[in-house]
Structure 1
Amino acid sequence: MVKPKIIIIGGGISGLACAYKLAKTGKFEIHIHEKDEILGGRLFDVFAGRVLLDETSYPNMLWFTKEIGLMGELDKVTSSDFGFLLPNKKIISGKRVPLHLLKEFVFRKRSLKLFLDSFKFIRYIQSLRFNIDKYESNLPNQEELRSISFEKFMAKYPPEIQQLIIKPVQMMCSPDDYEKIDAETGIFFAWVIYAMKKGYFMSRAPKVYADAFIKIAKELGINIHLNSEIQKVERGKKYKVIFSDGSTEDADTVICSAPLTESEKILGINFGIEYSLMRGVFIKGDFKYKFPLILSAFPESNINVIYNWGEHQVFYPLNNWLEPKSQNKTPVELNIDYLYKKEWEFIKEIRSSVGIPLNLRKKTPDLKQGDNLYVCGDFYGYTGLESAVSSAFKVAEEIIKLN
């Protein structure tokens, strides 16, 4: 019996998760086409190789990680593993943040009310529930929050709470222009951090996932094609996939798990979701601190987030988000001498190929774009890594049901 042929465009985490779910049934001939020479997609450039996962906000991602045998690669993370860069240019442990806030709000020029309001806000965030699979939350005014900007939502909070409670956790997840994301999305990103119950770090994430998947792909009969760029998909009795070298291949089903900006070109569909480019700076030097992840509550530093690898650090600066077609070549300026024991060395600056989608008043595209034509990725519902895997599983389950 001839198995239906499925072509998956894109070897990022969404494409891998979808292929795995389909392959487990044994019903399909599956081909993954990745235009680069490695699997992993945005895990390489955006996350600089280190991924933060949690059972509350990453259930599908953790399930997939366990399925392909990678739970042993995860290190448990607590508030002590987070560092916070303060206006005094010192970095403190996350577990000391409550004491710092008490000093900032009460023992100095602030008030006890402001201190209590900050923790009231955190408790409010922790009380929320977001269902990534269903794109639902228990926010009582969910529809309203999807129609206003996160900037407008934050305006009702004092500047101190914005700067010390909201922005540090927000900045590691989304663009610093809060007019461009809806309020619900902004709240969701804060929830990912504050609602964390059992968190994990995975270092060397892209390579670990790629190596594990290549091994399991052989066992499941998944065909992986690297350096294989698809330029166009034409609809007919079957789908004709056209490659950059001019060759073609037919498929019964096509799944485009590439970023929507690329999927638009390949499929000829305008999804109407704006993306933003993300910049990061790799620095090598004798760093003073051991925290693997550092958030900034010090805007004058021009630092958003720091991923610390020991031998090198990756700085994501403030105002590092660019328009997708930006030709801005101005290098990022960082004042970071105080974070190093000795002189530091610039290694390189990266720009992610797509960045994170900007979702203000967005309409999430349907995963099914036609008979046997699908898209999946981080754009779906609550933007992020978990959405990439969740949407991939949804697509796989739909195809399995139809076959």
Structure 2
Amino acid sequence: MTTVDMRTPAALAEAERWTAHNYHPLPVVIADAEGAWVTDVDGRRYLDFLAGYSALNFGHRHPALISAAHAQLDRLTLTSRAFVHDQFAEFCRRLAQLCGKDLVLPMNTGAEAVETAIKVARKWGYRVKGVPAGQANIVVAENNFHGRTTTIVSFSTDPDARDDFGPYTPGFTIVPYGDAGALADAVDDHTVAVLLEPIQGEAGVLVPPPGYLAAVRKTCTERNVLFIADEIQSGLGRTGRTFAIEHDDVVPDMYVLGKALGGGIVPVSAVAADADVLGVLEPGQHGSTFGGNPLACAVGTEVVKLLESGTFQQRSAALGEQLHAGLSALIGHGVMAVRGRGLWAGVDIDPALLTGRQACERLAQRGVLAKDTHGSTIRLAPPLVVTEADLGQALAAVKAVLDEARAG
């Protein structure tokens, strides 16, 4: 076999040659990482302001998480749920307590957790609410992003995610995000759940208007409907609270978690709810070979321990103020709007200056990695271990890119 030069140009060409083109990555080939920083194959360092779409909330190779993974790798990695392993109970107990719920159902990916929530909600609707068989309906929001399985893209309004993947799964009603009245009007006797992101990440870090989530909670309670909060991107410290929905003093019936739950080491997801909801499942009705495996539980337990102290939530809240203040100062100077909470921001670039892709390419040239979405919007989500100096450097890079574009 021929040895390939793995410096950036050659590595990019090899990736292009051998992989399906379902992503359009920036021309960066990462070889090493620690904390909020990554290093490419040519030795150039970058600030990671995407953090694996929040999967790396605790940074790259957090020592406590790496230690837990190494220790577990030396003992046991997989049993399947046909047996109980010695890491399972502690993970489930700690995560349930973090969520304030009775039970946890571990899975692997975020999309699997969303699919789990959909199945549980439907079964709850038939067994508990009394919805006629086959007629359960779930209300969702426009511009949502809950994953890319065939069921989930069936209720996506993003053409890239949805087009050409039909026939589509029925049983979903789509309403405008942030419109509590439209949502209430969409709920009927066959509605079993409302599934929402407390902050819509893929849509551009859209924060709902004040009172919206509380109004949704009220509707769900009055109409005997489950409120499912998809906190896969927004949860686990990202916004300055353990869960983004806490900013509105709202408690959902079900949390859907993923990404950061695996600490950037292994895929870990889960659904957390009380026994009257998750208790509808019986043996053989849902499962996963790798869901709740020993390695995942060992890492996930350490993630929950990090969150139990509240340190990362406090860091996100405090450093988020610096991030948002710095970005807001650029409004009118190439930035049209800034949204978000904590260490999470959606930044609308003036489309007359740059597309989001162009802005991210130029930021990468200045040593900051970010991701564009929907035209001229970029998302910034640094690991929660980022420092004030790191934030200052990234903000300076954003300003420099904008100043350069405005200068023509």
**TM-score when scaled to structure 1?**
0.27
**TM-score when scaled to structure 2?**
0.26
Higher relative contact order (CA 8 A, sep 6+): 1
